[in-house]
A and B are shown apart, each in its own frame.
Chain A
Amino acid sequence: GEDVEQSLFLSVREGDSSVINCTYTDSSSTYLYWYKQEPGAGLQLLTYIFSNMDMKQDQRLTVLLNKKDKHLSLRIADTQTGDSAIYFCADLHGSGNTGKLIFGQGTTLQVKP
């Protein structure tokens, strides 16, 4: 089946940039997503990118997509302690009502003051 992989942990200092990476195997991916999960809470959609785009910027967030290498990254500029959370990459395999979201294992981002 289709697979999404992420590294499990990233530690940065407050004010630095964070880059969270994700690889996927789906050749028919239509959308790719980044979700954020704070402790004890559900997942919150941060941003998404359509598969025919290379880059998307949204305030402090930059998403880069390398479709050839099936590599997705999320860059958080000026990382704050409030950014500490688990970040999930997800791939929409298929489309419409037959599409299925496939999640990576999640990357725990630790921001040190």
Chain B
Amino acid sequence: NAGVTQTPKFQVLKTGQSMTLQCAQDMNHEYMSWYRQDPGMGLRLIHYSVGAGITDQGEVPNGYNVSRSTTEDFPLRLLSAAPSQTSVYFCASSSQRGGTDTQYFGPGTRLTVL
């Protein structure tokens, strides 16, 4: 199993550009989520999905869109990038949302918006 994969690893955007961060998992997990990590602020939940076709907002959803057309993939879209979206983005998956089940994290995408 490859686990959770994210692409790209690094990205530089100009203000106003759009892009999609890719996330895929091969563990047949129902639950997937996107976090952003900023210095001194821990991880904050952006969006999550409890299964194909179902998504919901997390703590900081503004400026981001998601979709879940398959169990494996959960892309995160930035519609019009802003410098405030400069961050490290992590995708995670688990077979359930909490409890004793492990959340598996991807290696992260480091995004800089100029």
Contacts and interface: CB of A to CB of B under 8 A. Distances in A.
Interface of A: 1, 4, 8, 30-31, 40-45, 48, 88, 92, 94-101, 103-106
B4 to A, nearest CB: 8
Nearest to B4: A42
Contacts of A105: 40-42
Given A48-B100, A99-B97, A99-B98, A42 B105 contact: yes
A31 B108 contact: no
Contact of A88 (B40, B42, B45, B92): B42
B103 A45 contact: yes
A104 B42 contact: yes
B58 interface: yes
B43 A103 contact: yes
Interface centre among A30, A43, A99, A104 (most CB of B within 10 A): A43
A42 B100 contact: no
Contacts of A98: 97
Contacts of B107: 40-42
A92 B41 contact: no
A101 B45 contact: yes
18 contacts: A1-B59, A31-B98, A31-B99, A31-B100, A41-B108, A42-B90, A42-B105, A43-B90, A44-B105, A92-B99, A95-B99, A97-B50, A99-B97, A99-B98, A100-B59, A103-B35, A103-B43, A103-B44
A42 B4 CA distance: 10
B42 A106 contact: yes
